[in-house]
A and B are shown apart, each in its own frame.
Chain A
Amino acid sequence: MLWSTMLLAFREIRRNVMRSVLTILGIVIGVAAVIIMVTIGGGATVQVKQQIVDMGSNLLMVTPGKRLGPGQSTDSIPFKEADARAIARDVSSVIAVAPVSSQSIKAIFGNQNWSTQVTGTDNQYLQVTNRSIRSGRKFTDNELRSGAAVCIVGGTVINKLFGGQDAIGEKIRLQKLSCEVIGILRGKGQNTMGTDQDDIVIVPLSTYLRRIAGNQDVGVIQISIQDGIATEKVQKDIVRLLRERRHLSLSDDDNFNVMDMKEIAQMLTGTTQMLTALLSAVAAVSLLVGGIGIMNIMLVSVTERTREIGIRLAIGALENEVLMQFLVEAVVLSSFGGLIGIIMALTSSVWLARVLRVPFVFNTSIVFIAFLFSAAVGVIFGYFPALKAARLDPIEALRHE
């Protein structure tokens, strides 16, 4: 009985192809939107989480200036290299400390040039940022101490200046400084904020301060601490040490800031997830609108087919059977729309994920839920028109023109 009712529904849908297509469009778009949102949002979340893992062990970032909000701070007295040394010496549970200064400089090789982030630091920077050398070597202690004209280069710079060729031993020019490439970084891709971490040239801190910046200011101190250690305790120790070194009295506010990068990254994950949820909710509303579209068409269909319903009732169809006929029709319509929506969503998600450079995460449960939901929309919004059909008086219906 159900099968023949389904066949009947298919025939009725085929009879009015154009209208059926327009009817399910709302559902198609709704289902597709929800799935795309969840898939792309899920991909973004996975990406952020991966980047947190990539960031390595617990990372603290010490910046000068008072903290105003996330990423904002007032200008104030910069650090000195000695501050970094003091932290490494006096704070327990610290694995590596890297004093970092950087600025954007045009790097030149032959007739190629490329504006990149030139960073003065030491070998500990690699450890702190969880990076490694793909080919070549790190700085020697001697190079670090003497401020030698050597550099370690990221993949993006290699591509731009050397066309991806091996560049070890070549000399690139940074302003007046001509320095030899001694190492190439293993690629790391974009970070959480979307900046390219391979667009970098690393030189010894002393070289940077003397030959490029012309001062002794250290912009940021990056610190990695042991796993399983309470970050707050280490943060407090660093604050105490730096307050002392910067001669702050008890009434003074901190004029520097110790940030836990993991916290920031986690906040970002939260934001990504919340945005995904919000956009999916908006998309879900279009599913509802699609449902109303189905109800509208089913009501029209019931009115149009009043005579047919009258004939069926007169000939021996029970109320329930007429109800089922129209309900099945609505459900077949809406779940067909759901199916098309799923196919559309998956194909466009694969494409979108590539364009947006987030991993494509196939979420089985959302596909399943979206399908069930579209079928449910058919039941809910098809029920009222179907009931209207079933409740028709056969004699009245037969007299209907």
Chain B
Amino acid sequence: MNIMAFSQTDKSSLIELQAVMKIYGSGQAAMQALRGIDLRIDEGEFVAVMGPSGSGKSTCMNILGCLDTLTSGSYRFKGIEVNKLIRNQRTKLRRFYLGFVFQGFNLLSRTSALENVELPLIYRGVPAQKRRLQALRALETVGLKGWESHAPNELSGGQQQRVAIARAIVTRPAVLFADEPTGNLDTVRSHEIMNLLIRLNCDQGVTIVMVTHEQEMAAYTQRIIHFLDGRVVSDEPNRRQT
């Protein structure tokens, strides 16, 4: 199956989850992280995912981000059944269409911020000079101008988080998955990042799914989904959108 040739027939539903279950482990130690998720996210949406710790938000994000496989149910991305793709095809999906901000940053240690941000561009085959330029621009966007040569262990938690965001947006992905992108930032920085995400969403039409614990940040989005115990308990448009 050619990844690049997506069916354009069903434009409205970019992401479609149907009765998705995820079970970690097996037998006695089995842990049911997702217990039947039904979800549709359209192109251009900006969605917040909320819920208590352990409710399955990250698990769901990993599945949406094509990083993890589901145990049962169906996940369609642009009409393609992701579960039927082989590993390399899912990797190519990630490489060309998805951006991911991990909850734990997941930056390469002992590697400069600039090189961390360049990494996804390397795998996209962007030539070195262009790569550097784009990475510098992305770092500037998240307010890390002048920190390019610092390795993660020389950066604060908030700075690391912003490097992770820069890495996710440097490729201008079609969809951005952000697992608590403001979790380690102060209020001012958090609002800056939210404004940045809003700009990406409005100006470049990037679809964004963001996990957050903070009502204040969720308020920026158009739609808020609540998770509880591996289920979606509420899914409503955001009325108080700023």
Interface, chain A (partner B; CB < 8 A): 1, 4, 15, 307-308, 310-321, 394-395, 398
Contact = CB atoms under 8 A, between A and B. Distances in A.
Contact of B92 (A15, A311, A318): A318
A321 B88 CA distance: 11
A387 to B, nearest CB: 14
B123 A317 contact: yes
Contacts of B128: 4
A311 B91 contact: no
Contacts of A313: 91
Contacts of A319: 87-88, 91
B167 interface: yes
Given A15-B110, A398-B106, A314 B122 contact: no
Interface in B74-103: 87-88, 91-92, 94-96, 100, 102
B62 interface: yes
A317 B91 contact: yes
A394 B68 CA distance: 8
Given A319-B87, A319-B88, A395-B62, A314 B108 contact: no
B233 to A, nearest CB: 25
Contacts of B68: 395
21 contacts: A1-B125, A308-B109, A311-B106, A311-B107, A311-B119, A313-B91, A314-B67, A314-B94, A314-B100, A314-B102, A315-B119, A315-B167, A316-B91, A316-B92, A316-B94, A316-B120, A317-B91, A318-B91, A318-B123, A320-B88, A394-B67
Interface size class of B (residues with CB under 8 A): 20 to 34
B130 interface: no
Interface of B: 62, 67-68, 87-88, 91-92, 94-96, 100, 102, 104, 106-110, 119-120, 122-125, 128, 167
Contacts of A395: 62, 67-68
Contacts of A311: 106-108, 119
Contacts of A318: 88, 91-92, 123
Given A4-B122, A314-B100, A395-B62, A308 B108 contact: yes
A321 B123 contact: yes
A325 to B, nearest CB: 11
Contacts of B106: 307, 310-311, 314, 398
A315 B118 CA distance: 11
Given A314-B106, A316-B91, 19 more contacts: A4-B122, A311-B107, A312-B123, A313-B91, A314-B102, A315-B95, A315-B120, A315-B123, A316-B92, A316-B120, A316-B124, A317-B123, A318-B88, A318-B91, A318-B123, A319-B91, A394-B67, A395-B62, A395-B67
Contacts of B119: 311-312, 315
Contacts of B107: 311
Nearest to A391: B87
Nearest to B99: A315
Contacts of B122: 4
A279 B87 CA distance: 49
Given A4-B122, A311-B108, A317-B123, A398 B92 contact: no
Contacts of A321: 123
A1 B126 CA distance: 10
Nearest to A315: B120
A4 B96 CA distance: 20
Contacts of B109: 308
A314 B91 CA distance: 7
* Centre residue among B67, B92, B100, B104 by max chain A CB count within 10 A: B67
A398 B91 contact: no
A1 to B, nearest CB: 7
Nearest to B93: A316
Contacts of A15: 110
A15 to B, nearest CB: 7
A316 B87 contact: no
A15 B111 CA distance: 11
B95 A316 contact: yes
A316 B96 CA distance: 8
A316 B88 contact: no
A320 B124 CA distance: 14
Contacts of A394: 67
A314 B106 CA distance: 10
Contacts of A314: 67, 94, 100, 102, 106
* Centre residue among A1, A307, A312, A394 by max chain B CB count within 10 A: A394
B180 to A, nearest CB: 15
Given A394-B67, A395-B67, A398-B102, A315 B94 contact: yes
Nearest to B98: A316
Nearest to B105: A311
A304 B149 CA distance: 24
Contacts of A317: 91, 123
Contacts of A320: 88
